Amino acid sequence: MKNREIVKILCLPYCSFYKEGKEEMLCFCAELLMMILESDKREMVIDVLSSNKGPTEKVYYQDRQSLEHLCSKCGFYITGCDFTDPDFKGYSPPCGGYIAIMKLLRAHAVSWDKISSVVKL
Ligand code: SF4
Ligand code: SF4
């Protein structure tokens, strides 16, 4: 279930799939972000996501780390996510959660080590 904070700082500014009223399921990256917001990284994460809201890149590609640590743990993986569906023809952007996590990684607000440690909690 989405909470108001995650909708405000993540879904609305970053996700092209957000639909008001569709509150039933979170992508894994949104769940992860909620966990990170409860850690000592909270202020830095909010600062980065609040600055220049929205995607920083036009096209996103999967790599081994994002697949292993993010998408493969997500309930939308492949069957509910064209970005990860190998049978999908053309390009689909990832969800806003993925975009936000990539932005945080690039800004060094989080690291893959931090993500791994949060996920294992
Ligand atoms: S896919 Fe993730 S980022 Fe997009 S609306 Fe759903 S919870 Fe928010
Ligand atoms: S890009 Fe797709 S599989 Fe990866 S976290 Fe987002 S919704 Fe889930």
pLDDT (tens digit, 9 = 90+) per residue, 50-60? 998 777 778 89
Domain region containing 56: 4-120
Residue with the smallest CA separation from ligand 2 atom 5 is: 71
Contact 37, 59 (CB under 8 A): no
- Count: domains in the chain: 1
pLDDT: which is higher, 56 or 91: 91
Torsion of CA 12, 64, 56, 84, to 10 degrees: -50
C-alpha–C-alpha distance, residues 56 and 14, integer Å: 10
* Ligand 2 midpoint to CA 71 (Å): 5
Query: Taking the model in full, what pTM does it have?
Result: 0.93
Question: What's the whole-number mean pLDDT along residues 15-23?
Answer: 84
Query: pLDDT class for 114, splitting at 50, 70, 90?
Result: confident
3-state secondary structure of 40: coil
Q: How far apart are CA 98 and CA 94, in angstroms?
A: 6
Atom of ligand 1 nearest to the CA of 10: 3
pLDDT at 24 over 80: no
Rounded to an integer, the average pLDDT of 10-16 is: 94
Ligand 2 contacts (CB < 6 A) are 27-29, 70-71, 74, 76-77, 81, 83-84, 94-95, 97-98
